[in-house]
Amino acid sequence: MAEQSWAKHVADVLRRNGIRLFATVPDYIVSHVLDELWADLECRVVTTTREEEAVGLLSGAWLAGHRGALLMQNSGLGNCTNALASLNMGRWAGRSPTSWTRSASAGSGRCRSPSSSTRPTGSSSSAT
């Protein structure tokens, strides 16, 4: 019962913030939240085969004016690092639709600003 309680709370917070599109590479922990979202006819949950695919899907939705969330286990973050970093490079830096939340299985569950971990720091130079 406790698992259902936290899953409903997470799903409710996402919905209250206007998020209705969810991409996921499901696992056991995430499945509790997904059950809540699949039951809501206003939500669209898309199951992807890889985390990078989900990043691409949600990036396209964001460019079309929609907000979405990627639900994955913490190890999935390592799988999509390049896709996330690509969104935060060059002309898109600081304007990409990324935000981070760790699952309950990953530890504290604190939120983190994406710009502090994915935006390049310092100056860059290129050879001519």
pLDDT tens digits, 10-68 = 999 999 999 999 999 888 888 999 999 999 999 999 999 998 899 889 988 988 999 99
| Domain carrying residue 56 | 2-96
Does residue 81 sit within a domain? Answer: yes
Residue type at 90?
A: G
Residue 57, in any domain of the structure: yes
Total-model pTM: 0.65
Q: For residue 92, tell me if it sits in a domain.
A: yes
pLDDT of 88 higher than 70: no
Whether residue 107 lies inside any domain: the answer is no
The answer to the question of residue 51 being in a domain is yes
